[in-house]
Amino acid sequence: MCRRRGERDNPAMPSTTDLSASHSARRPLAERVEQALTRVIDPEVGLDVVSLGLVYGIVVAGNLVQVELTMTTPACPLAEQIVREAEAAVRSVDGVGAVSVLLVWNPPWTPARMRPEARRALGWST
Amino acid sequence: MTAAELGLRRGVLLVVAAAALTAVLGGLVRAAIALPVAPGPHQVALHGPLFVVGVFGTVIALERAVALAARWAYLAPVAGAVAVGLLLAGWSSPAAAAALLSALALVAINVAIVRRQLASFTLLMLAGALLLAAANALWWRGAGVPTVAPAWMAFFVLTIVAERIELSRLAPTPRWASRLVLALGLAVATAAAFSLVSPSPATRLLGAGFLALALWELRFDLARRTVHMPGLPRYSAAGILAGAGWLAVGGWLLALGELPPAGPRYDAALHAVLVGFVLSMVFAHAPIILPAVAQIRLPFHPVLWWPLAILHGGLAVRLAGDLVGSGAWRRAGSLANALALVAFLLAASWARRTGGGRQPRRQPG
């Protein structure tokens, strides 16, 4: 079965941030992968790729994980490094087998993709 | 990335380091500072091209080649490295031809990037690369450094400002400000193009454009926000904002009047832009770019603030010497700028050895 982050199969599942570490193993794999990706920091901005809206999708099939990641521009030389760090972060999650991180450019990133916490940190009103 | 590709990138950076060392020594000889080991006269004469084409131009070409992730794109940095080798050997004309090839490859990289993302910042990067190619073509055909220097400077300014415009999308920027910076960038590109054929009015307009772009950065750059964050983002932002300040100074000096082909105002204007703005940007981004491009770990450590401070302090002394006509101040400032590079290497080694300082992590919100 493939699950894409954001298409939660159990609407009653509490959000990632509500869960304590002791319950983390029971969270869906896609959520734990997303949590791991918050450790991947854009060094220029000091914020993580999830908050910046650079993670376009997390697909889980058994213990196989595929992450779709973008950059704010194709002119960015950090892409290769961020992909490498994302692979390492995902691989560190319990229960993950093979990892594939794909760099995608469509649709292009826009500031509207940033999460509210990142927008607030960078001076947006919402 | 294959091991061969990584080796190629590191090899290019090694050549860049050789160019930087020779260029610095040549600059010190020019500033009438006695050295125990001095480069040859032709290398002293090529101080500017070594820094512009050999160091900054090749590093930008490497960054873009890595970003595009296409094998053919490595023609740009490799041709830049070949140009360095030829310059060091004293073969200026073949070096200029290699530099032209590098610039043309950089144009092709930027065309590919524009095709992926049509945006104001990708267009300005392409305009900068076209200027570099035009300037290198004239240099190859025998034009002197003072003739092509304004267009070389415009290449760096447009490339860096384009990167800053792109990043500044992460912060709220008024629509008028986004349109204004595109118009300013295109005006700078036009003035720089005209400076290659008619230096007198065009270089003054170019200076005014630099000044306006610097003020835009000081008002709207994302660094205005990241300077309040801890660790690397603050250090990087400080280097960017200080660099923008020097771009304003350089722009003002260029706008004052016709640029003489040598002398204190020429020295001050060029070094305000190339050392104050461009080299500061290199210092500010080295901990970000080196791991990304060459997998050379450079964790941020507070000791990195020292070379940045020496760089800007030294430049202030140097420009003060230029403006008041003090050779002693100019020499002291030049020496401090060279020491800033040495200090950066020492600080980087310290940061690598200690694994960086405490790295407080920014929590969004």
Model confidence at B218: pLDDT above 70: yes
Model confidence at B39: pLDDT above 80: no
Q: Tens digit of pLDDT for each residue in B121-161?
A: 999 999 999 999 999 999 999 999 999 999 999 999 999 99
Query: Measured between CA atoms, how close is B246 to chain A, in angstroms?
Result: 21
For residue A121, the chain B residue with the least C-alpha distance is: B365
At A18 the pLDDT is 35
- pLDDT-derived band at A25 (thresholds 50, 70, 90) equals low
At B359 the pLDDT is 52
Query: Measured between CA atoms, how close is B296 to chain A, in angstroms?
Result: 11
For residue B231, the chain A residue with the least C-alpha distance is: A46
- The pTM is what? 0.90
- pLDDT-derived band at B30 (thresholds 50, 70, 90) equals confident
Model confidence at A11: pLDDT above 50: no
Disruptive mutation site among A44, A104, A122 for chain B (greatest number of B CBs within 10 Å): A44
Model confidence at B244: pLDDT above 60: yes
- pLDDT-derived band at A7 (thresholds 50, 70, 90) equals very low
- Of residues B163 and B365, more confidently modeled: B163
Q: Tens digit of pLDDT for each residue in A63-94?
A: 899 999 999 999 889 999 999 999 999 999 99
- Percent of residues, chain A, with pLDDT higher than 70: 79
What mean pLDDT comes out for the span B301-312?
97
- Percent of residues, chain B, with pLDDT higher than 90: 82
At B358 the pLDDT is 53
Q: Tens digit of pLDDT for each residue in B50-82?
A: 999 999 999 999 999 999 999 999 999 999 999
- pLDDT-derived band at A26 (thresholds 50, 70, 90) equals low
- pLDDT-derived band at B219 (thresholds 50, 70, 90) equals very high
What mean pLDDT comes out for the span A34-49?
93
Disruptive mutation site among B125, B170, B298, B363 for chain A (greatest number of A CBs within 10 Å): B170
Asked whether the beta carbons of residue A45 and residue B170 sit closer than 8 angstroms, the reply is yes
Count how many pairs of residues, chain A against chain B, have C-beta atoms within 8 Å: 102
- Please enumerate residues of B whose Cβ is less than 8 A from a Cβ of A: 1, 63-64, 66-69, 113, 116-117, 119, 121-122, 125, 162-163, 166-167, 169-172, 222, 225-226, 229-233, 236, 287-289, 291-293, 295, 361-362, 364-365
Give the closest of B117, B287, B292 to A74, CB-based. Answer: B117
- pLDDT-derived band at B31 (thresholds 50, 70, 90) equals confident
What's the mean pLDDT when you consider all of chain B?
Answer: 93
What mean pLDDT comes out for the span B177-191?
96
Give the closest of B1, B64, B362 to A75, CB-based. Answer: B64
Disruptive mutation site among A41, A42, A45 for chain B (greatest number of B CBs within 10 Å): A45
Model confidence at B164: pLDDT above 70: yes
Residues 6+ apart with CB under 8 A from B121: A73, A75, B162, B163, B165, B166
